[in-house]
Amino acid sequence: MKILLIGSGGREHALAWGLARSQKLSKLYVAPGNAGTNQLGENIPIGTENLSDLVQFARREQIDLTVVGPEAPIVAGIRDLFEREHLRIVAPTQKASFLEGSKVQAKAFMSRHGIPTARHASFESFEDAKRFARTMPPPIVIKADGLAAGKGVAIAQTHAEAEQILSEFMIAQKFGAASQRVVIEEFLVGKEFSLFVASDGVSWKFLGTAQDYKKLLDGDRGPNTGGMGSISPVPWLTERMLDETIQKIVEPTFAALAKENLSYEGILYFGLIWTERGPFVLEYNVRFGDPETQVLVPRFDFDLVELYRALAERRLKDFETKLAPRSAVCVVLASGGYPEHYEKGFFIEGLEKLTDPNVLVFHAGTALKDNKVITAGGRVLNVVGLGASIAEARQRAYTAIGQLSFPKMHYRRDIAA
Ligand code: AMP
Ligand code: GLY
């Protein structure tokens, strides 16, 4: 099979690694990819926003199957575009992508179907939003409706702060049209985790749980980031809690999709919080997570190409998505200064010294210069340790990190601690 993978981060390197393990893969293209994906396939310089060039490429190269990493091309309708050209692709339709593309619509969907989520109200008018926020006890959660690269959620500790955030979102339009509408919701207290499912529109299969570390600094301090680490499975989530989550959230979500005649085909990410009243949905994403994929794929005890084929051919019902009984811990090595201003272009030392077969290094923001790997983004490398336990996996990841360096490298020391 000739596969085209769309995206360029650590998630895509992990997916490329999974795909490349399959005997069924004959050729892998990654658009645009990074220095890591280039070792497993061929990078193609087409951006993820350039849908028509991606279609053209898939047609010209007679790609058998296209796999999509990030949300933006999905919400922009890549699935529909490929389908119109009779090109096989695994991704939800634009119609189904509201689950991530519009927080207003996703919340309305959950409310219509009684799926547990924070109580909320949606607003198009700044004045109405302001008035409503005043009636809420802080902390108050404010979410931009549309895609905002993971930055569209703000938590206000006071009414004054809420007003200021609403003004930034709705009047100054911090995220453009994406923040013209907002959701205001109650703050839920609990432990966050995520759950991943594959669906072919007829049936769905569980792909595992993970937890990510969003804050920049140890002890969950500092600003939010795209993710500084992740672990899988979620160690505190018992079998009974997982069953309850599937019964209260996952099954009702797919029943609701069916009821609304929405055929969901692709990966569905449930962003969840375990509260004293059980599991609640914080958000849906219409794709794998980053950096959660980096700890999920190494645990897959099945052929990833075959999974995507089963999804494309609607044969998921007979496909077994087994997970290996091993744990994975991912630590993100970031550029100093990230998520604000940072420098790039530094050589990365030590990659060739890593020999532990239980350590995987996925590239997130790298490039090649004179055939050497240099930093090219805020999040640079994802170091993944594998082991029989989270503790063992953690030990391996941090031992490997001891061999790696680049100027101003920053990482958290407390992932999976
Ligand atoms: P989201 O993009 O909707 O997952 O929100 C990003 C982050 O904001 C989540 O991972 C939570 O840490 C936090 N968050 C979102 N909604 C709530 C809520 N209702 N209560 C508490 N924290 C929330
Ligand atoms: N790790 C969060 C996300 O992928 O959205």
pLDDT at position 281: 98
Residue 396 and residue 386: Cα distance in Å, rounded?
7
How many CB atoms lie under 10 A from the CB of residue 21?
Answer: 16
Q: Decide if 107 is inside a domain.
A: no
228 lies in the same domain as 314: yes
Tell me the best of 215, 268, 285 to mutate to test the pocket of ligand 2, counting ligand atoms within 8 Å of each CB and taking the most: 285
Cβ(398)–Cβ(385) below 8 Å: yes
| Protein residue with its CA nearest to atom 5 in ligand 2 | 289
Atom of ligand 2 nearest to the CA of 214: 1
Looking at residue 230, which CATH number applies to its domain? 3.30.470.20
Among residues 8, 3, 35, which one has the least CA distance to residue 19? 3
Q: Decide if 179 is inside a domain.
A: yes
pLDDT at position 172: 81
287 lies in the same domain as 332: no
pLDDT at position 152: 87
pLDDT at position 177: 81
314 lies in the same domain as 209: yes
Cβ(292)–Cβ(233) below 8 Å: no
60 lies in the same domain as 152: no
What domain count does the chain have? 4
Q: Parallel, antiparallel, or unpaired: how do β-strands 327-335 and 379-387 relate?
A: antiparallel
3-state secondary structure of 297: helix
Cβ(415)–Cβ(348) below 8 Å: no
338 lies in the same domain as 299: no
Instruction: Give distance in angstroms: CA of 241 to centre of ligand 2.
Output: 22
pLDDT at position 125: 85
Instruction: Give distance in angstroms: CA of 296 to centre of ligand 1.
Output: 22
241 lies in the same domain as 297: yes
Q: Decide if 138 is inside a domain.
A: yes
22 lies in the same domain as 84: yes
Q: Decide if 103 is inside a domain.
A: no
256 lies in the same domain as 294: yes
143 lies in the same domain as 246: no
pLDDT by 10-residue block (mean), the chain, 417 residues: 97 98 97 95 96 98 98 97 97 97 96 96 89 92 87 90 90 82 95 98 97 96 93 97 98 97 96 98 97 98 98 97 97 96 96 96 93 94 98 98 97 97
3-state secondary structure of 342: coil
Instruction: Give distance in angstroms: CA of 290 to centre of ligand 2.
Output: 5
pLDDT at position 180: 85
* Nearest ligand atom owner, CA of 289: 2
152 lies in the same domain as 229: no
Q: Decide if 85 is inside a domain.
A: yes
pLDDT at position 179: 79
| Protein residue with its CA nearest to atom 3 in ligand 1 | 283
The answer, yes or no, to whether any atom of ligand 2 lies below 6 A from the CB of 227, is yes
Atom of ligand 1 nearest to the CA of 117: 19
Among residues 341, 235, 364, which one has the least CA distance to residue 290? 364
The answer, yes or no, to whether any atom of ligand 2 lies below 6 A from the CB of 382, is no
Q: Decide if 303 is inside a domain.
A: yes
215 lies in the same domain as 142: no
> Domain span at residue 334?
327-401
Instruction: Give distance in angstroms: CA of 306 to centre of ligand 1.
Output: 34
Domain-ending residue, one of 151, 186, 221: 186
245 lies in the same domain as 260: yes
Q: Decide if 385 is inside a domain.
A: yes
Q: Parallel, antiparallel, or unpaired: how do β-strands 221-232 and 327-335 relate?
A: antiparallel
Q: Decide if 276 is inside a domain.
A: yes
